[in-house]
Each structure stands twice: as structure tokens, then as C-alpha cells.
Amino acid sequence: MPGGMPMLDCESVMRQLWDFLDGELTPERMAAVRAHIEMCKRCYPQHEFEQSFLDAVAARRRQHSDPQRLRRRVADALRAKGLSDA
């Protein structure tokens, strides 16, 4: 099939699933894995499970309650060490 995407089997998709979810594959690989997952009864649930796991972990990213206060504190400490206000 000229111009078609390489056919992937389930095992090779599973081997690359984390790299795929992390966006670490080449654009061609990303497209090929995505195409397989969308139409595969075995790989799709696995993909959903792992994606929901990564979303839950990423949601543990914390925000500082007062970033401006911290910025002032760091700036003051640096100024005391000689940093000029460039």
C-alpha cells in the first residue's frame, strides 16, 4: 500500500505505549500507534487506563500560594549576594 502507514501489531504497540503517551515518538510513529489504538479492542482499554493514571499523577502538581512573596524573597537574598537589578 504505497504511502500507507506501517501495520503495527498489539505487542509492538504495547511496547511503545508509554513513549506514545509521553509524546516521545517520531510524528510517523505517533500517527501509526494512534491509528492502531483507535481501532483495537485490546489496546484501546489499556490506553485509557494508562492515560487516566498519568492524568491523576499530573494533577498532583502543586501551585505556590504566594509566588510573588517567594520571588521578592529570592530577589532580596540575591541582592544581598551582590546581584544588581538588571
Residues near other proteins (CB under 8 A): 11, 14-19, 22, 24, 45-46, 48-50, 52-65, 67, 70-71, 73-75, 77-78, 81-84, 86
User: What's the closest the beta carbon of residue 25 comes to other proteins, in angstroms?
Assistant: 11
Given the complex with other proteins, which of 7 and 18 has the nearer CB atom? 18
Rounded distance, CA 15 to CA 64, Å? 37
Q: Which residues bind Zn ion (CB under 5 A)?
A: 10, 40, 42-43
Rounded distance, CA 39 to CA 30, Å? 15
Q: Are 17 and 46 in contact (CB under 8 A)?
A: yes
With CB under 5 to 8 Å by kind, the binding choice for 24 among other proteins, Zn ion, none is other proteins
**What's the chain's Rg over C-alpha atoms?**
22
**The C-alpha cell that represents 67 in the structure block:** 509566588
